[in-house]
Amino acid sequence: MDKTNYKNKNVKQVSIGSIIILLIFTLVFGFLTFISYLALQATKESIFTLFVGVIGLLFIMSLAFTLSSLSGFLKAKSTILKNTHEIKNSNPYIYYRQLPNPYGVGVASLLMDSTLENEKDIVAIILDLCAKGYLNLRKNINGNYTISILKPISDDLLSNEKYVIECIINNKLTEFNYQEWFEYCMEDGVNAGLFTKKDLTNQHTQINNTMEPKIEKIKKAHKIVSLIISIVITIFFLILNITKYELSNIAFQSICVFAIGYIVFYIILYIPLRVIGSIIVGTIVTSQIGASEMYQSQISKYLEPTAKGKEELQKLYSFKAFINDFGLFASKNPEEIVLWDFYLSYAQIFGLTDKILSTGYDKIIKNGSFEIDNLDEISFDKIDINTK
């Protein structure tokens, strides 16, 4: 079933598919490196030495990018699971038998996992609006379902509920904009103080800013190493020749040795220090950016619950546990079961509809709010709108 997820628009979205693509490149470069190495061992041709070096470098870079992106992905998932685990473990409720909050099923579904399951959750909100007395849902003689509008939109409704009723009044359920409804649900949740939009800055920009200073350090190290080696060679030259030549000659020769040595070693060390060093720094920094982007991309799909939101979420988890064991409660203490018509809408967003219907209580699907046979039969193209 299609879903609409929260995504922070200020964060670059990177999917797990990018890790798979990187992994494919890594395997390809690894295979080419291995083949080139075998060819080098067999022929001893220098061209294969260069090829092994270049392809091997690409293999190492791809491997670094893949592992860093995977680490960012796993870190984000671990953070989300840890937060969810803490909320569940600190839950003071075993069961919550009454309706958990006045925020409606749209906001409740979003609070659960920052996701709306599109048509499934729209059916749930229609059932909820029926239970609240705004709509009535009945199966008609044609086998379809008819929604009747019982009363006009009021200020007691949340903006996302108003949006749904407006679509029903205008007979536009088949053109329903899930993303727009998602935005209304999110706005209602934020206004109720249940969750906040994450203010994630792209940390990879900050990481990228560390690359230039590191490159400058490599350049400085290159000059210092060349200078030190030249000085050492000049000192050895002086020690070996100081008694053989006059002071003026030995001074001039020492200056020449130092200058030539510095230039020679500056050139010799250019590739191993500057080029390879820059590649290593670039690989590390780019890998950090990849890990940061993957982490932010995954973590940005979840709204951050506030303290109030965590408390309401605990009620939802406990209400879900109650709904999950609904048959046990219903069979033992039927006089305690109230608000029949509200339960089904929450069972729908919890994914427990089939289980609650299996209790066999007709009041769940046949009451003053709605009368249905099978929730799976309810779809937008099978709903008639009665505006009279």
pLDDT in tens, 191-209: 999 998 766 655 555 555 6
In the chain, the largest separation of any two C-alpha atoms, in whole Å, equals 120
Give the structural domain span for 214. 4-90+202-299
Q: What is the mean pLDDT of the chain?
A: 83
In whole angstroms, what is the distance from residue 170 CA to residue 357 CA? 31
Examine residue 99 and state whether it is found in any structural domain, yes or no. no
- What integer is the mean pLDDT of 330-334? 50
Q: In the chain, how many domains are there?
A: 2
**pLDDT for 347 beyond 60:** yes
Q: What is the band of 322 on the pLDDT scale with cuts at 50, 70, 90?
A: confident
What's the pLDDT score for residue 338? 53
Name all contacts of 358-367 with Cβ < 8 Å and 24+ positions apart. Answer: 358/327, 359/326, 359/327, 359/330, 359/331, 361/330, 361/337, 364/340, 367/340, 367/341
Examine residue 323 and state whether it is found in any structural domain, yes or no. no
Residues 168 and 220 in one domain: no
Among 299, 323, 347, the domain boundary falls at: 299
- Of all residues in the chain, what percent carry a pLDDT higher than 90? 21
Give the residue with greater pLDDT, 106 vs 387.
Answer: 106
Residues 133 and 164 in one domain: yes
C-alpha separations of 351 from 36, 50, 341 in Å: 54, 59, 16
Return the number of other C-beta atoms located less than 10 Å from residue 86's C-beta. 11
Residues 68 and 206 in one domain: yes
Residues 17 and 150 in one domain: no
pLDDT tens sequence across 139-156: 887 778 888 889 889 998
Q: What is the band of 331 on the pLDDT scale with cuts at 50, 70, 90?
A: low
Residues 133 and 171 in one domain: yes
Q: Who's near 261: CB < 8 A, 6+ residues apart?
A: 229, 230, 233, 234
**Which of 83-87, 100-104, 170-174, 324-328 is predicted least confidently?**
324-328
Examine residue 328 and state whether it is found in any structural domain, yes or no. no
Residues 65 and 44 in one domain: yes
**pLDDT for 333 beyond 70:** no
What's the pLDDT score for residue 388? 61
Residue with tokens 């920094």: 285
